[in-house]
Amino acid sequence: MSRYTAAEIEAKWQAAWTEAGLFTARRSADKPKYYVLEMFPYPSGRIHMGHVRNYTMGDVIARHRIATGHNVLHPMGWDAFGMPAENAAMASGGHPKEWTYSNIADMRAQMKPLGLSIDWSREFATCDPEYYGQQQALFIDMLDKGLVYRKNAVVNWDPVDMTVLANEQVIDGKGWRSGADVERRELTQWFFKISEYSDELLTALDGLDDWPAKVKLMQANWIGRSRGLQFAFSLTEQSHGFDRLEVYTTRPDTLLGASFLGISPDHPLAKALEADNPEVAAFCAEARRGGTTEEALETGEKLGFDTGLTVRHPFDTGRDLPVWIANFVLMDYGTGAIFGCPAHDQRDLDFARKYGLPVISTFAPVKDDGSPLPEDGGAAFVPQKTDPVIYIRGFAGDTEQTGAQAIDAAIAFCEQNGVGQGVTRFRLRDWGLSRQRYWGCPIPIVHCDDCGAVPERKENLPVRLPDDVSFDVPGNPLDRHPTWRDAACPSCGKPARRETDTMDTFVDSSWYFARFTSPGSATPTDAEDAAYWMNVDQYIGGIEHAILHLLYSRFFARAMHATGHLPEKAIEPFNALFTQGMVTHEIYQTRDANGRPVYHLPESVENGALKATGEPVEIIPSAKMSKSKKNVVDPDAILAQYGADTARWFVLSDSPPERDVEWTAAGADAAHKHLARVWRIASEIAEAEAGAAVPQDDEALTRALHRTIQDVTLGLESFGFNAAIAKLYAFTSVLAKSTAGVAARREAALVLAQLMAPMTPHLSEEVWGLLGGDGFVTAAAWPVAEPRWLVEDSV
């Protein structure tokens, strides 16, 4: 009896599958189609165990669907534009294109030995001109449909390097290279009008039955529909042509508690004041310091400047409210102006205390007859919309009502009295797609002095990136290129200038799933292919994409339908979504002479000490694998040591797929031992003499077998991979100990190979062949549990 040698088996079966064309997807009327997609990787250069886990899960689904008679599409590509390629070029002088394509080649070579059921004939990278040219065509179609426009937006500006920084490049409010204080600066940028679909993107979440509830909730909160009151405060004295300030509030029930007005430093009135008042200008400059992230704005120190202007309260006519410029008021949301109600909003209360503004309560808690005013240093009283409260200063009498009722009453009262109107607003902002970088899809626009911003003619697409660029100075090389900007105006033919901004890489990943249905098509999609293959039946990826990538893709699917590139059924492109956890590993650390941590790779550590020197290491609990902490295992090394089946089996077996899994050498050893055991059991059965005179108990084995078919099938269909594998462990033990006849054990081992095949396809093919199974196990029909064997005969 030979031993289980993964390396030989795996190479053999991978070649056999490829030769048989088992995974090449073609349209077919014979079988139901099934489209499985894992979020495509960024070509960083090496695959990591997280990729292995992600693609293994997709592969299990794909192979199970093949076995249940589906026509499966399971493609792979590369999300290939982005900053790391430019950073590499800056650091080591190469070219982003060469860096990227070389990484793709390396990663493809690492992925193929995993034995994934991928249709490699559909592979593409988003930096292929054939892909981004179609993306430019899509952009132009969306522009025609009014889904693209230009407006000003703020970016992180590094005043020393004179360049725009990504949020990632702003460390503690300073530029990552220059160390200079970052400023917020306005630029004219292109936007997708995703807000046009706010309501629909929100409402349609209800129909996504096979999406995780948490993802739908996060998206709903992100879109953030709110009902509120928009109205104007009149300025007591006109200033710079302003006689009123428009305000939006979601809590009009607290209007009688208003004690000040806050406007954004980017509000037109603030800008007008800034122009002729150096003090205001100094304040606004201070307020514009720091990065643009919501986190930086929310957690930064609240700063205010009293403009000296006042407004009249629309109802409480005895009071005028001061107008402050406040750095926490966002120009992007609402009207860029708010009224502050310190008694019932913590942020407003902090601000009021800092600047000595009045605190005016409008209601008291029902169950508390003490003072409704916050005590010195106490928190603001912020009732939930569902809490019953009594308003002592309200619009609907002083009876007990919930906040929600009071808000409705306040809007109605204000509308009746001609003060503003109830409006529905969304938190969702339009999607700014302009990036001042080289390694992205060029925005296909030409700027003409006479005609303005004109889209390039489609016959001139793709607008290709030039190869001759340098990265020796900060900023966008396209801006500095001697000739690339020169273009003829597509409208009037006069000399004009190309747009040098490129697209956000999120654009690239917002429609790749549609492109996979016809990757060679001369239009973004092919109507027949899109109609046949869409939607993605199962999408799998990290929870970190729960909001942006998935929301943008849902928007793009709608935009592609509006521009005739996708059928209506595809406006929700992902029927089912699964978000998987990370692969983690312990961190091994020693200290250098200065007490600074030094990290060590897992393979250099044995029994809690360095292999080389015997020095003991400090073990830090498991964390996401990262190169800087050196807590990484290289899939290449794992595959060389154990083979793909062991790696696949282990990443699925040890944790539920939605949770993090810790990679441990012991766990991988155990997985490998188990596969060797299955091999051994199958070999013994294959060599056993039929009809040997042993006591036979076929029924118990058959009963266990059908129970296992049932449990494993249900497990695979519900992402219960770890539980399904536990059942397979248990059944393997039953089979090993079984006293059933050879025929029954052979049958059971064949079915075991089938049940394991989605996880360990190579081993299963080998066992299948050994026991005389017909054809490929990969192509064999999935076993079905017979109900009569599932009935428990004892309780």
Partner RNA sequence: GCCGGUGUGGCGGAACGGUAGACGCAGCGGAUUCAAAAUCCGCCGAUGGCAACAUCGUGAGAGUUCGAUUCUCUCCACCGGCACCA
**Scanning residues 612 to 631, which ones bind RNA (CB under 7 A)?**
623-624
Q: Residues 168 to 187: which contact RNA by CB under 7 A?
A: 168, 187
Asked whether position 162 contacts RNA by CB under 7 A, the answer is no
Contact string 225-264 vs RNA (x = CB under 7 A)? ----------------------------------------
For the chain, the first-to-last Cα distance in angstroms comes to 41
Residues 481-508 as b or e (16 or more Cβ within 10 Å = b): beebbebebbeeeeebebbbbbbbbbbb
State the DSSP string of 82-103.
Answer: SHHHHHHHHHH---HHHHHHHH
Can residue 546 be called a binding residue for RNA (CB under 7 A)? yes
Query: Which residue, 138 or 154, has its beta carbon nearer to RNA?
Result: 154
Least distance to RNA, CB of residue 578, Å: 14
Place of tokens 């690239």: 508
Binding test (CB under 7 A) with RNA, winner from 104, 147, 165, 755: 165
The one-character DSSP state at 168 is: G
Q: Contact at 8 Å (CB) between 287 and 330?
A: no
Q: Which helix (H) or strand (E) holds 153?
A: strand 148-158
3-class secondary structure, 272: helix
Residues within window 80-109 making contact with RNA, judged by CB under 7 A: 81-84
Residue found under tokens 């710079």: 240
The one segment of 474-482, 512-520, 543-551, 741-749 that binds RNA by CB under 7 A? 543-551
> Is residue 543 at the binding interface for RNA, with CB under 7 A as the rule?
yes
Q: Which is nearer to RNA, 72 or 125 (by Cβ)?
A: 125
DSSP H or E stretch at residue 179: none
Is 116 among the residues that bind RNA (CB under 7 A)? no
Q: Of these, 232, 610, 726, 743, which contacts RNA (CB under 7 A)?
A: 726
- Binding to RNA in span 190-229, by CB under 7 A: 213-214, 217-218, 221-222
Q: In this chain, which stretch among 12-20, 265-273, 426-434, 639-647 interacts with RNA, using CB under 7 A? A: 426-434
| DSSP state letter for 669 | H
Closer to RNA at the Cβ: 182 or 530?
182
Of these, 272, 730, 742, 743, which contacts RNA (CB under 7 A)? 730
Select the residue interacting with RNA from 17, 233, 395, 506 (CB under 7 A).
506
Q: Which one of 308, 733, 774, 775 is in contact with RNA (CB under 7 A)?
A: 733
Per CB under 7 A, 432 contacts RNA? yes
Nearer to RNA, 20 or 162 (CB): 162
Nearer to RNA, 666 or 791 (CB): 666
Stretch near RNA under the rule CB under 7 A, chosen from 56-64, 76-84, 372-380, 385-393: 76-84
Nearer to RNA, 35 or 190 (CB): 190
CB of 657 to RNA, least distance (A): 9
Whole-number Å distance between alpha carbons of 326 and 355: 11
Strands 431-432 and 183-192: antiparallel
According to DSSP, the β-strands at 320-326 and 260-263 are: parallel
549 binds RNA (CB under 7 A): yes
**From 9-17, 24-32, 57-65, 661-669, span contacting RNA (CB under 7 A):** 661-669
Residues in 462-491 that interact with RNA by CB under 7 A: none
Interface pick for RNA out of 720, 742, 743, 769 (rule CB under 7 A): 720
Q: Does 54 bind RNA (CB under 7 A)?
A: no
Residue at token pair 């059928």: 567
Nearer to RNA, 156 or 778 (CB): 156
- Judged by beta carbon, residue 106 or residue 306, the one nearer RNA is 106
* 20 residue type, one letter: A
Look up tokens 């990787």; give the residue.
41
* Alpha-helical runs (H) found in 293-345: 294-299
Cis preceding-peptide flag for 442 (omega within 30 of 0)? no
Beta-strand ranges (E) seen in 673-767 are none
Site size toward RNA (CB under 7 A) is: 74
Q: Which of 662, 700, 742, 789 binds RNA (CB under 7 A)?
A: 662
Minimum distance from residue 187 beta carbon to RNA (Å): 6
Chosen residue from 17, 42, 260, 516 binding RNA by CB under 7 A: 42
Asked if 292 interacts with RNA (CB under 7 A), we say yes
Judged by CB under 7 A, does residue 79 bind RNA?
yes
Nearest alpha-carbon partner for 434 in 788, 707, 192, 263: 192
Q: Are 402 and 388 in contact (CB under 8 A)?
A: yes
583, 49 Cβ separation under 8 angstroms: yes
Please calculate the CA angle 209-215-221 and round it to the nearest 5 degrees. Answer: 110
| The dihedral formed by the CA atoms of 391, 397, 403 and 404, expressed in degrees to the nearest 10 | -170
To RNA, the closest distance from the beta carbon of 742 in angstroms equals: 19
Site string for RNA, 678-717 (x = CB under 7 A): ----------------------------------------
- Name which position in 676, 686, 700, 743 contacts RNA (CB under 7 A): 676
Burial of 618 (0-12, 13-18, 19+ CB in 10 A): exposed
DSSP 603-650: GGEETTEETTT--B-EEEEEEE--TTTT----HHHHHHHH-HHHHHHH
Distance CA 570, CA 511 (A): 11
Stretch binding RNA (CB under 7 A), from 65-73, 397-405, 453-461, 546-554: 546-554
Q: Pick the closer one to RNA by CB: 47 or 165.
A: 165
User: Contact at 8 Å (CB) between 505 and 466?
Assistant: no
715: nearest Cα among 49, 707, 280, 188 = 707
Which residue stretch of 115-123, 132-140, 358-366, 428-436 sits at the interface with RNA (rule: CB under 7 A)?
428-436
Task: Please name the helix (run of DSSP H) or strand (run of DSSP E) that holds residue 38, with its range, or none.
Answer: strand 33-38
Footprint (CB under 7 A) of RNA, residues 299-338: 299
Strands (E), 193-344: 225-239, 242-249, 260-263, 304-312, 320-326, 337-340
Interface with RNA includes 167 (CB under 7 A)? yes
Examine residue 5 and tell whether it contacts RNA (CB under 7 A): no
Q: Is residue 367 at the binding interface for RNA, with CB under 7 A as the rule?
A: no
Q: Is 298 in the site for RNA (CB under 7 A)?
A: yes
Q: Which of the stretches 67-75, 515-523, 588-596, 658-666 binds RNA when contact is defined by CB under 7 A?
A: 658-666
Q: Which residues contact 637 (CB under 8 A, 6 or more apart)?
A: 603
